């Protein structure tokens, strides 16, 4: 990906990168930072992260819910 990203950046073309967990490698993050490319890449699942978000998950990962979740923000 590096040659492709550099090609567009050198031509002043705005580049944004979006990737799944397979692209969650430090080298890609570092390259995007170096080139000033905005990126959104899903991180790989890990036990520590799962423990920290456990209270917010109501169903197993990957299984769709039976009804939509609706949240309201009430400002005082």
**pLDDT, tens digit, for every residue of 23-70?**
999 999 999 999 999 999 998 888 888 888 887 776 666 666 677 777
Contact at 8 Å (CB) between 32 and 39?
Answer: yes
Tell me what pLDDT residue 46 has: 83
What's the pTM? 0.60
Question: Where do the structural domains in the chain lie, given as residue ranges?
Answer: 2-45
- 3-state SS class at 16: strand
Name the residue with higher pLDDT: 10 or 62: 10
How far apart (Å, rounded) are the C-alpha atoms in residues 13 and 49?
35
């Amino acid at each position: 990906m590096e040659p492709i990203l550099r090609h567009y950046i050198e031509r002043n073309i705005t580049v944004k990168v979006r990737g799944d967990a397979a692209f969650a490698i430090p080298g890609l993050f570092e390259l995007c930072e170096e080139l000033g490319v905005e990126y959104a890449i899903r991180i790989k699942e890990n036990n520590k992260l799962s423990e920290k978000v456990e209270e917010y998950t109501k169903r197993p990962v990957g299984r769709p819910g039976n009804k939509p979740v609706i949240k309201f923000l009430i400002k005082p």
